[in-house]
Every structure is written in C-alpha cells, then in structure tokens.
A and B are shown apart, each in its own frame.
Chain A
Amino acid sequence: GQNIDQPTEMTATEGAIVQINCTYQTSGFNGLFWYQQHAGEAPTFLSYNVLDGLEEKGRFSSFLSRSKGYSYLLLKELQMKDSASYLCAVRLTTGGGNKLTFGTGTQLKVEL
C-alpha cells in the first residue's frame, strides 16, 4: 500500500525558518509535490521534485531523496500569511494513469 507521513502540527516564529518533513513508502513513484492550503480554500501548488536534490523558488525550497523516501519543504523569512496546511503528495504511475496521493498535511502556525 501507499504510506505518506508528515507531522500533524508545527509552530514557528515570524521571520524564522521552518522545515516540514515528509516520508513516503510507495510503488510507482513519479514525482513529489508540495501544496499549500489555507483554511476554506483550495490547495495551491508550491513545488515539484522528481530527481534527487534541492529545488528553490523564492522563500520556498523543496528537497527530495528517492533512495530514502524523504522530502522536506523549507520556508524562509516566515510571514503570518504562511500559516496554512502544507500537503505532501506523491504522484504514482499506475496501470491506469497518474494520480496524486496526499499525506494528511502539516498545519503550520506562524506566531509573532
């Protein structure tokens, strides 16, 4: 079966750096995505990794190690608006096509 684990909650201070980890055990791995979801809104795409290494996009970076089944999302210079749920999702290639399988999400609270 597929298993994707993330911490349930994290708290960090405005201006700081926070790292949200994601571990996965899946078959048919075809990329890892990070999404941000504010309460009552749709998930929005943040980053994508398919090869090992770090992808940087402004204040957000994402890292992947396929051999370890591990990814993290790094948020720098935290702002209050970064308070949201962060969803790790693995794209799987099955006999029928690609699908995103999501972790349960990490609720990040940014405090003053």
Chain B
Amino acid sequence: DTAVSQTPKYLVTQMGNDKSIKCEQNLGHDTMYWYKQDSKKFLKIMFSYNNKELIINETVPNRFSPKSPDKAHLNLHINSLELGDSAVYFCASSPTGTGIGYTFGSGTRLTVV
C-alpha cells in the first residue's frame, strides 16, 4: 500500500481558477508537509503541520491555504491560480524528532495555462 498518497497526479487548469490537492499518509507520522519543486528542480518547503497544527508557513502567498482535518491528511487549496504556480507539488510526512527521513508522495504536476 502507498505510504503517502496524493491526488491528482496531474492537474491542468486555467489562470484564475481554484483547485485543491489532497494528501493522505498511513505511516502514523505526526508531521506533514507541502513542498514545491520548480522547473529548475529546486524543492522548497511551503507548509508544515504537526498533529493538525500549522507550525511552519514559509512566505507563501495567501492564495495557498493548507487544511489538516486530522494528522493523516493535509490538503492544499489554491485560489486564483497564476502561471507562476505551475510546478510539481509534493506532500511529505515524518515522525517527530528522529533521524528517519521524510517520506514523499508521488507529486502533483500542476500546469496553469
């Protein structure tokens, strides 16, 4: 079974639309993250949630709103999509305070046209 699953895998949408990406993990991890990977393959953290509480919010436009209904789920809603939002978005999870690496989902390739 997939450890960190995100849907959809591909998303093509027009500028100005609102879209959501869903993420679920079945690893029992306490902390979940959203990362953005741009066209130059640079992975940058956007948000981190620990047990449903937002703990990291990296200077991300407020058009991006994460929501964590429980510690196994972290969704990302994006309003008023812009061309520059085109990227691959990765969800990840990790247990708190250990040397176990983050486990990443397979990514959502968002293309804004």
Contact = CB atoms under 8 A, between A and B. Distances in A.
Interface of A: 31, 33, 35, 37, 41-46, 48, 50, 85, 87, 89, 94, 96-102, 104-105
A103 B47 CA distance: 18
Contacts of A101: 45
Contacts of A94: 56
Interface in B53-103: 55-56, 90, 94, 96-97, 99-103
A45 B101 contact: yes
A33 to B, nearest CB: 5
B99 A104 contact: no
Contact of B99 (A41, A43, A50, A105): A50
B104 A99 contact: no
Residues of B in contact with A, size category: 20 to 34
Given A97-B31, A97-B48, A98-B97, A104 B41 contact: yes
A44 to B, nearest CB: 7
Given A42-B107, A43-B90, A98-B97, A105 B41 contact: yes
A42 B105 contact: yes
B106 A41 contact: yes
Contacts of B100: 45, 48
A104 B55 CA distance: 24
Contact of A85 (B41, B56, B90, B99): B41
* Candidate in B40, B41, B45, B105 with the most chain A CB atoms within 10 angstroms: B41
A46 B103 CA distance: 11
Contacts of A33: 101-102
A100 B45 contact: yes
Contacts of B102: 33, 45, 100
A105 B44 CA distance: 12
B63 to A, nearest CB: 21
* Candidate in A50, A89, A96, A105 with the most chain B CB atoms within 10 angstroms: A96
B113 to A, nearest CB: 20
A99 B97 CA distance: 11
B25 interface: no
A105 B48 CA distance: 22
